[in-house]
Amino acid sequence: LKEMADSHSATSEYAHKLWTILNHLASAKLPATLQNISLNMDKTFRWTAEETKARLDDSVSSKLLNCVFDKDIEQHIYQVPIATDETVREHDWYCFECHAAGQLYPCTKCFRVYHSSCISAELRANPAVLLCNACQEIEKEPPCNLETLSPCLSKILQSAEKMANGQFGTLPHPQSGVSDEQYRMLIANHIDLDLIDRKIRNMQYLNPTDFFNDFQLLRHNVFIVFGRDSAMAKLATDLLKEVDTQVKTLQSIMPRRFAARFSEKEKQRKGQFKMFRKPVHSGSDNYLQNEKDVGTNGCSCDENYRVAVTDLNNYYRDLFYVELEKMAVEEMYEV
């Protein structure tokens, strides 16, 4: 394996509990020594001294805690670090499939990371050049006409915001129990509904799959911050299912193969074509007579004429499908 992503060996659940105890000790004006932490972890979470020490070490190695020597009491104490811009990394810190820490392998094209046991046998054969399923799906789906796509995604987002009832508008949410700095230490790639809204307005989503992937990231982050068994995690899962249903409906009514091609060439080709008459040959030199009546390409070859007419036909066919797509989208999403 050529590369392995930087990863946390400590789980977010352990980090939350350790941060809680450290905050409690700070409020009580007690030093966060190993002994004080162990006593409180035993009382509050029933951790043994050995478990506490091991999880403290994991948290320090994962940079979720700092361990410094206090000269006044001549002991090591633990502190919650302050997140900086250097905390942001290229890849995630937790497996995108099971949302757990461990030895993780990065996708070569995006931020996602996986345990070798969490990917398919085909991908596991060479994880050093791993291309995750999300990136494969993005590559399969061609870009859409963004002017048509963005209003549709806005409608789906409005439905998601109503279902979320303000829970995922801006993260970290107060119910998460972590500060902005602690959130940034847990979450390598931030996303919330406000950011999704900005990306829609800036036309950053190339297709519906690209949009759906951000809701997968939202659920992943919620699992890490709130815990997999939390009410927030259940809400994020239900939200993802609803968005998945609406995205599939949208994909079924959008003939993307026509819409994208028309969108890219529309400005170049609009008004380019004139009425064609078949070219007139004059002898073997293919000399073109009545050139101005034939078209702007100045070609007297029958084959080139056929290609030009076919191209013109394809242009209007693309135009027809784009208009058909817009009608279907407007009827369904009222845009």
Q: Where are the beta strands (DSSP E) in the chain?
A: 66-70, 75-79, 105-106, 113-114
Domain boundaries, the chain: 5-79, 86-131, 141-253
Nearest to 64 by CA among 112, 104, 9: 9
Question: What residues pair up with 113 in beta bridges, in sequence order?
Answer: 106
267-320: pLDDT as tens digits: 455 444 444 444 444 444 443 344 444 444 444 455 665 666 666 666 666 666
Alpha-carbon span 35 to 53, nearest angstrom: 10
Neighbours of 99 (CB within 10 A): 20
Alpha-carbon span 93 to 116, nearest angstrom: 15
Residue 47, pLDDT score: 94
Q: Does domain 86-131 have CATH number 2.40.40.20?
A: no
Helix, strand and coil in the chain, % to nearest 5: 60, 5, 35
Neighbours of 327 (CB within 10 A): 11
149-159: pLDDT as tens digits: 889 999 999 99
* Average pLDDT of the residues of the chain: 77
Write down the architecture of domain 141-253 according to CATH. Up-down Bundle (1.20)
Using a cut of 0.75, tell me whether the model's pTM lies above it.
no
Q: Does domain 5-79 have CATH number 1.10.10.10?
A: yes
Average pLDDT over residues 181-197: 87
Cα→Cα distances 40→17, 81, 320, Å? 10, 20, 70
Question: What residues pair up with 70 in beta bridges, in sequence order?
Answer: 75
Phi first, then psi: what are they for 114, rounded to 5°?
-145, 150
221-252: pLDDT as tens digits: 999 888 888 888 999 999 999 999 999 988 88
